Amino acid sequence: MITIEDFEKVDIRVGKIVGIADFPEAKKPAYKLKIDFGPELGIKVSSVQAVGAHTKEELLNSLVCCVVNFPPRQIGPFLSEVLTLGFKNNAGTGWVLITTKNGNVDLGSKLA
């Protein structure tokens, strides 16, 4: 088990997907995302295996939850700066990203 103090070390923030592209070099179908976290963190990039669960059009401009304080991770030729959170979909074809439909959240807001 982890403690509440352990959980509080994980910095989860909301960001807006402002750019999305296919990632054909990835081992599994994936997208490359540009995510805007507002003035404090700026724009970060992430790779997500959401192909099959989401279309690019559906994801563009959506608000997603990301861990922003993990070290960057090299995924093939791409350096992912944040971990975009999601759940494996029922078909097993991709990840359903954690999003918020509420537009009353400032970019970069922390999960509380």
The domains of the chain are located at 4-100
Please give the CATH topology (third level) of the domain spanning 4-100.
OB fold (Dihydrolipoamide Acetyltransferase, E2P) (2.40.50)
Mean pLDDT score, 7-21? 97
- Strand intervals (E) in the chain: 12-22, 31-36, 43-48, 63-67, 73-75, 78-80, 83-84, 86-88, 95-97, 99-100
pTM: 0.93
Degrees (nearest 5) of the Cα angle 80, 81, 84? 80
Q: Which residue has the higher pLDDT, 100 or 40?
A: 40
Average pLDDT, the chain: 94
Residue 93, pLDDT > 80, answer: no
Residue 99 pLDDT level (bands cut at 50, 70, 90): very high
